[in-house]
Amino acid sequence: MSTLILKNITKKYNKDVVVNNFNAEINKNELVTIVGPSGCGKTTTLRMIAGFIEPTEGTISVDGNDLVNKDKNVFMEPEKREIGMVFQSYAVWPHMNVFKNVSYPLKLRKVNKEELTRRTREALRLVHLEKYENSFVHELSGGQQQRVALARALVMEPRLLLLDEPLSNLDAALRETMRSEIKEIQRKLEVTIINVTHDQTEAMTMSDKVIIMNKGSIIQIGTPEEIYNNPANSFVAKFIGSANLINCKLVTESESTMMVEVFGEHLEIERKETLNENGILSVRPHHITPMENSTLKGKIIRKLYQGDRIEYHLQVEEEVIRMITDASYNYPVDDVIGFQITKGIWLND
Ligand SMILES: Nc1ncnc2c1ncn2[C@@H]1O[C@H](COP(=O)(O)OP(=O)(O)OP(=O)(O)O)[C@@H](O)[C@H]1O
């Protein structure tokens, strides 16, 4: 598969608009993550694609065939959509063994025994559970149970796989392993995956493309690099990768650069479109670096030791800014130090 197109998708509950005019195109074999804070409409969007929730307005199509088209009154039942889904709760059956759990969807569709066994074993191999086919699910760890759920979705050879925070109940190390395994499965099977999470690290490390939502609307769509290097606004800059957001003023513009005033000093940055002379400078904590003779000064009010690096919180005028240095820059709390801003991005809000 398959290009999935969502056009003007809106979901309202009475007057509450929980998804507002969602437009996106998801290409064949892409792993796309929808990320945003709790309640922003991620799960509702995913469930509209799966067919468990009907949109109030809009069209969802795969390769030109409508799954939903509110104008034409088209609504395809979820079981006809050839879409696999894995949820946060494992939703596996504890009283059945692993083989039976994974083969269940095939049994429902009356697939013959030989093919059922072959496809079930293949799915178990993909998630590294081939040795556990006779184990009962309640004997397995959380991570293994989530793999059973994943295998059960894969056994149907879906054209599209939807993941609704399937890793959020797992510990950090296991989450990391599963992220790379899911990515590997995606490459091997050439399946299109839409993943939902509120974990920005997961979004950045797994995805070909990231869709950032807030309050029902898409704020930005792009590759992880595009979103990190070119956040659309301060919400994205703060949500992805964390950033200092500092008030600044436009001084002059040239073809490719602009001069801004920040903390009373001039700084040259890459030129961006400006709506007026006041903006926000987004500065990543590692783009603030100590500089002995700088006129920019800050008082260290907090020091967070992180092994190979140190995060400092500096009081600069009315603002607290975060600076991350390597551990060789070792200053005590209450010191006043000079610093420089090595890179900043102009934002209009
Ligand atoms: N059946 C419903 N009736 C009314 N409001 C609903 C219903 N289902 C969801 N909502 C509201 O829609 C909004 C979006 O919910 P949704 O579950 O899509 O958010 P989410 O981004 O997936 O959040 P989370 O990360 O917490 O799962 C929320 O404010 C929620 O309260």
Going from the Cα of 18 to the center of ligand 1, the distance in angstroms, rounded, reads 7
Q: Which residues lie across from 341 on neighbouring strands? A: 288
Distance of alpha carbon 89 from alpha carbon 236, whole angstroms: 28
Single pTM value for the model = 0.89
Helix (H) or strand (E) segment spanning residue 4: strand 4-13
Going from the Cα of 11 to the center of ligand 1, the distance in angstroms, rounded, reads 10
For the stretch 116-133, pLDDT in tens is: 999 999 999 988 899 999
Residue count (the chain): 349
User: Quick one: pLDDT at residue 2?
Assistant: 64
Q: In ligand 1, which atom is closest to the CA atom of 196? A: 22
Provide the token pair at 7: 């056009």
Q: What are phi and psi of 218, to 5 degrees?
A: -75, 130
Provide the token pair at 335: 């010191």
Which residue CA neighbors atom 31 of ligand 1 most closely? 39
User: Quick one: pLDDT at residue 305?
Assistant: 94
Q: Could you tell me if residue 317 is left (phi over 0), alpha (psi between -120 and 50 degrees) or otherwise beta? A: left
Going from the Cα of 40 to the center of ligand 1, the distance in angstroms, rounded, reads 7
Q: What are phi and psi of 332, to 5 degrees?
A: -80, 155
Which residue CA neighbors atom 25 of ligand 1 most closely? 38
Q: How many CA atoms lie within 13 A of 230 on its CB side?
A: 11
Place of tokens 């800050």: 298
Going from the Cα of 10 to the center of ligand 1, the distance in angstroms, rounded, reads 13
Task: Provide DSSP, 228-286.
Answer: HHS-SSHHHHHHSS--EEEEEEEEEE-SSEEEEEETTEEEEEE----SSSEEEEEE-GG
Q: Is 89 helix (H, G, I), strand (E, B) or coil?
A: coil
- Closest of 153, 141, 11, 143 to residue 82, by C-alpha: 153
Distance of alpha carbon 8 from alpha carbon 21, whole angstroms: 4
- DSSP secondary structure letter of residue 128: T
Going by their DSSP bridges, the two strands 257-262 and 265-270 should be labelled as: antiparallel
For the stretch 60-78, pLDDT in tens is: 999 899 999 999 999 999 9
Going from the Cα of 44 to the center of ligand 1, the distance in angstroms, rounded, reads 6
The ipTM estimated for the assembled molecules is 0.97
Q: In ligand 1, which atom is closest to the CA atom of 40? A: 21
Q: Could you tell me if residue 258 is left (phi over 0), alpha (psi between -120 and 50 degrees) or otherwise beta? A: beta
Going from the Cα of 49 to the center of ligand 1, the distance in angstroms, rounded, reads 15
- Residue 198 CB–ligand 1 contact under 6 Å: yes
- Residue 46 CB–ligand 1 contact under 6 Å: no
**Spans of the chain, pLDDT less than 50:** 1
The amino acid that residue 337 corresponds to is: I
Determine contact, residues 242/321, Cβ cutoff 8 Å: no
User: Quick one: pLDDT at residue 90?
Assistant: 66
User: Quick one: pLDDT at residue 34?
Assistant: 97
CA distances from 3 to 81, 123, 186, 192, 307 (A): 14, 24, 15, 9, 45
- Residue 197 CB–ligand 1 contact under 6 Å: no
Q: Which residues lie across from 348 on neighbouring strands? A: none
Q: Is 86 helix (H, G, I), strand (E, B) or coil?
A: strand
User: Quick one: pLDDT at residue 5?
Assistant: 96
- Residue 256 CB–ligand 1 contact under 6 Å: no
| Best residue among 9, 18, 217 to mutate for probing ligand 1, ranked by most atoms within 8 Å of CB | 18
Going by their DSSP bridges, the two strands 192-197 and 160-164 should be labelled as: parallel
| Best residue among 10, 42, 45, 167 to mutate for probing ligand 1, ranked by most atoms within 8 Å of CB | 42
CA distances from 210 to 10, 99, 142, 223 (A): 20, 34, 27, 6
Going from the Cα of 82 to the center of ligand 1, the distance in angstroms, rounded, reads 25
Q: Is 192 helix (H, G, I), strand (E, B) or coil?
A: strand
- Residue 328 CB–ligand 1 contact under 6 Å: no
